[in-house]
Amino acid sequence: MPSLLLEIFSEEIPARMQGGAARDLERLFAERFREAGLAHESLRTFAGPRRLTLVVDGLPAAQADRVEERKGPRANAPEQALQGFLRSTGLTREQLEERDGVLFARIERPGRPTGDVIWEITWPVLLGFPWPKSMRWGPMMTWVRPVKRIVCVFDGKIVQGGLGGVAGIEFSNVTQGHRFMGSGEPFSVTGFEDYRRKLAENFVVLEAAERKARILERARAVCAEAGLELVEDEGLLEEVGGLAEWPVPILGDMDPAFLDLPPEVIRTSMRTHQKYFAVRDPNTGRLAPRFVAVANIEASDGGAAIAAGNARVLSARLNDARFFWDEDLKAGFEPWLEKLKGVTFHAKLGTVAERVERIAALAREIAPLVGADPDTAAEAARLCKADLASGMVGEFPELQGVMGGYYARAKGLAPEIADAIRDHYKPQGPGDTVPTAPVTVAVALADKLDTLVGFFAIDEKPTGSKDPYALRRAALGVIRTVLEGGLRIPLREQLASAFALLSVKTWGRPIARLSDLEVGEEDGHLTLVEKDELAALREQDLQADPPGFTVEDDLRNVEALLAFFADRLKILLRDEGKRHDLVDAVFALGDDDLVRIAARVEALSEFLSSEDGANLLAGYRRATNILKAEVKKHPAEEASYTEAVDPARLSEPAERALHETLKNTLPEVEQQLGLEDFRGAMAALSRLRGPVDAFFDQVLVNDADPAVRLNRLRLLSQIRAAADRIADFSLIAG
């Protein structure tokens, strides 16, 4: 079957945009072909430094005839409505069909040759292509860079059309190869295989995956020849794969004197400014005074001149880095902290200096919970953001934290403080490790909790796919740190503390000192109260609150943040194979200890996968449904369901057996829960399975005697209460 080849040839496309452009091209054309009724066998896209290519195989020679039926107005509708419908369909009143008083139009559309349809599909995609950034050129054309040619060939023939009135370009079958190494002359193509072959002959590697594999293979080879190892970098490989059509890795020399700089500085300078790969000595594991640059040409001298030129540029960059390093060492932490007083973190959340105060106070609160010294944790937190004002981080923002750790060691600060400054941003993604040193954990948790609390307080919560302040990542970082470290942290209390700190240190609310506050509960709602049981806010405090912010808002946000954590935990546990409804069922108990929640979910998952667990869940639902039905009929009785069962009214053997089992089992369930042996608690609960089954098989709950009926409902209420001590079984699906 015929194939389509489309190539948009332009000036250099930024490497970071190429992958997204290929995906967008595939998506947009797939949608257009589907709308046009053109089925196809495969649709592939390719992106490179100067071309964006689409290949569609297995297209039909022509569209199939199509019949479209459109519903119109009622037959007695006003004449104006009828005429509008006729104009939209191109039919007359006599050609409409009336069914049940409603008019329908049957529009027959004969199929057209595919070649005629392609131009109609192509030009809207090209004119409205969603580049992250684009430039306007030509009368109406916008593209990421000026377009030079458009190849559009279907079944070996040039598709008639183009963007002549928009960009002055007509479709053709002519493209060109490598800017320097190709023949220098444009060449024509008849289809994709001819196109790919001629590009290769003209030193163009079409597939991005092939370019990356070529870079990696040859870079490793040139390093191995020198007895060295390539420091692999997937992100850099992705980028340089989009910079060269014919990539040629070259090993260059670096001045060894620069090796006294921190290795992260050297690697970042290479990566960010020059797109070079670092090289290490396999014997020591340290960086070697070499680098790998990726050229876009096979030089006649083997790349010696290119390597020498790149070395000179790298030396200039590293000289700049050395200057920042030396100047930063002269400055030190206190001047940087002073500078942070003039740096706004967020217009509604104060300066970075105010944020540091909050983090330090919160780290002091968290420290005892994670085995850290409070004073050390507070000092590490006080210094953790200082390097944001350093010259090196100003040049390389990605080194924040890392440089602070180096500067702390250079100033002779305690190793645990230097480590905490270096690692408090961790984990920064799913592949990153979590901090384990107690002081680092305290600072890392304080940093992330302050971020979450601050942006929830000003209603900057994530929405849909938008999360500009990376709050989802922060919450997952807290969860991973707590779970992987087995940390027993009362999350609700820490969130309330963080909101109190925000109020005191940023908005100036005269609440009490943080140490004088605790989380309480009143009428089922979370409150923040003084430990002497006086109200935390007095009337004058309310008057001092900033507009739009009240303590009641803070407390609502605590619950909102707990729900946010529950959602993130669902995602984390789902990736481990756990069901999201089990997380809901456990969170509904009001527990805020993430370690305990995860352990309970694990045990619950195992329990429900067993026959006893599945059957007990069925019994729970049956008991719950009966209780709900009876509440509707006798609402006044509901309060008495929790009263003790009267053994004297248990006449049936099955109900006496169930009552006896409940009496013996419930204390054991409570004991195991107190020991946090959730598997043991569920094993005890599983002993209810047989008596519950027998009860429903042999006992009629709705006995004619009202007292007997109510006694049996209390027995069912005990079944429900026993299960709900484990989790809220009503939230469990399946």
Q: What is the pLDDT of residue 176?
A: 94
Confidence of residue 584 (pLDDT cuts 50, 70, 90): confident
- Is residue 614 classed exposed, middle or buried when 0-12, 13-18 and 19+ CB atoms within 10 A define those classes? middle
- The two structure tokens encoding residue 529: 């109260």
Return the closest-CA partner of residue 360 out of 438, 443, 475, 435.
Answer: 443
Is the pLDDT confidence value at 521 over 60? no
Nearest to 499 by CA among 539, 552, 439: 552
Using the 8-state DSSP alphabet, how is residue 62 labeled? B
Q: Is the pLDDT of residue 507 over 70?
A: no
Given CATH 3.10.310.10, say whether it is the number of domain 600-731.
Answer: no
Give the separation between CA 604 and CA 578, rounded to whole angstroms: 10
Question: 0.85 cut: is pTM over it?
Answer: no
Is the model's pLDDT at 542 over the cut of 70? no
Single out the residue of 664, 645, 669, 629 nearest to residue 718, CA to CA. Answer: 645
pLDDT of residue 527: 46
User: What is the pLDDT, as a whole number, of residue 477?
Assistant: 95
Number of C-beta neighbours around residue 392 at 10 A: 28
Selection from 131, 631, 612 nearest residue 147 by Cα = 131
Q: Which CATH architecture has domain 66-109?
A: 2-Layer Sandwich (3.30)
What token pair was written down for 685?
């609960």
- Mean pLDDT is highest, among 200-209, 607-616, 625-634, for 200-209
With a pLDDT cut of 90, the percent of the chain lying above it is 54
Name the band, by pLDDT with cuts 50, 70 and 90, for residue 591.
Answer: confident
The pLDDT of residue 198 is 96
In this predicted structure, the answer to whether residue 553 has a pLDDT above a threshold of 70 is no
* pLDDT over 50 at 718, yes or no: yes
Residue with structure tokens 């390097």? Answer: 387
Region 714-728 average pLDDT: 89
Q: Which helix (H) or strand (E) holds 362?
A: helix 352-370
User: Above 60 in pLDDT, residue 511?
Assistant: no
> Distance between CA 173 and CA 185 in Å, rounded?
14
The mean predicted confidence, pLDDT, of the chain is 88
**Nearest by Cα to 600 from 732, 716, 690, 476:** 732
Of 305, 315, 242, the C-alpha closest to 274 is 315
| Tokens 């994670």 belong to residue | 370
Q: Which H or E run contains 277?
A: strand 277-280
Write out pLDDT tens, residues 368-395.
Answer: 999 999 999 999 999 999 999 999 999 9
Residue 501's pLDDT is 77
pLDDT score recorded for residue 548: 43
Using DSSP, state whether 153 is helix, strand or coil.
Answer: strand
Residue 513 has pLDDT above 80, yes or no: no
Can you tell me the distance from the alpha carbon of 149 to that of 160, in angstroms, rounded to the nearest whole number? 14
Q: Residue 641 has what DSSP assignment?
A: G
What is d(CA 451, CA 61) in angstroms, rounded to the nearest whole number?
A: 58
For residue 488, give the DSSP letter.
-
Question: Span 407-429, mean pLDDT?
Answer: 96
- Cβ atoms of 359 and 349 within 8 Å: the answer is no
Residue 628 pLDDT > 70: yes
Name the residue type at position 482: V
* List of E strands, 504-663: 517-522, 525-530
Q: What is the pLDDT of residue 84?
A: 87
What are the tens digits of pLDDT across the range 269-302? 999 989 999 999 999 999 999 999 999 999 889 8
pLDDT tens digits for range 686-709: 888 888 889 889 988 888 888 999
Task: Report the pLDDT value the prediction gives residue 508, as an integer from 0 to 100.
Answer: 63
Q: How many C-beta atoms surround the C-beta of residue 138 within 10 A?
A: 15
Distance of CA 595 to the CA centre of its chain: 22
225, 257 Cβ separation under 8 angstroms:
no
Confidence at residue 554, expressed as pLDDT on a 0 to 100 scale:
64
- pLDDT band at residue 550 under the 50/70/90 scheme: low
DSSP collapsed to 3 states, 691-732: HHHHHHHHCCCCCCCHHHHHHHHHHHHHHHHHHHCCCCHHHC
Radius of gyration of the chain (CA): 35
**So what's the pLDDT on residue 503?**
72
Q: Is residue 652 pLDDT above 70, yes or no? A: yes
Q: Has residue 535 got a pLDDT over 50?
A: no
How far apart, in whole angstroms, are the C-alpha atoms of residue 219 and residue 150? 34
Q: What is d(CA 448, CA 1) in angstroms, rounded to the nearest whole number?
A: 57
pLDDT digits (tens, 9 = 90+) for 70-120: 888 988 888 888 888 888 888 888 888 888 888 888 877 777 888 888 988
